[in-house]
Amino acid sequence: VQLQAFGGGLVQAGGSLRLSCAASGRTFSGNVMGWFRQAPGKEREFVAAVGWSGSSTHYADSAKGRFTISRDRAKNTVYLQMNSLKPEDTAVYYCAARKSVPLTTSGTGYEYWGQGTLVTVSS
């Protein structure tokens, strides 16, 4: 499975961005997709995850109410809509795929990772 994330960029505080992650290669049913981020000098942290059907989601506290994760199974693509962005959201955002259920917030539970896309939020 290959994952390619895109959609990052520079945005002012309060603005919005939508990240996309396209999966290709050997895809599999039932998998969980997640987004993680890593800010400079900080450890990677969980942002959001979505189950196979798209109806099950889980968010980090920092993302609740501002970010929405969704997926289009027909396009093998997962999205992260980010609204009301803050400077502390600045990070490289990575998408990841997990072969099995359930949703997990631990990065070690995901077998496949994309290359990351940089999000910079200016104050």
H/E element, 58: strand 57-59
Residues contacting 33, CB < 8 A, separation 6+? 21, 23, 49, 50, 69, 71, 78, 95, 96, 97, 98
pLDDT above 90 for 5: yes
Mean pLDDT on 71-89: 95
Give the Å distances, CA to CA, from 35 to 17, 54, 61, 85, 123: 14, 14, 14, 16, 23
pLDDT above 70 for 110: yes
Query: 108: helix, coil or strand?
Result: helix
Supply the pLDDT for residue 72.
93
Judge contact between 70 and 50, C-beta under 8 A. Answer: yes
Supply the pLDDT for residue 29.
64
Per the model's pLDDT, the better-predicted residue between 68 and 25 turns out to be 68
Query: 9: helix, coil or strand?
Result: strand
Indicate the average pLDDT of the chain: 94
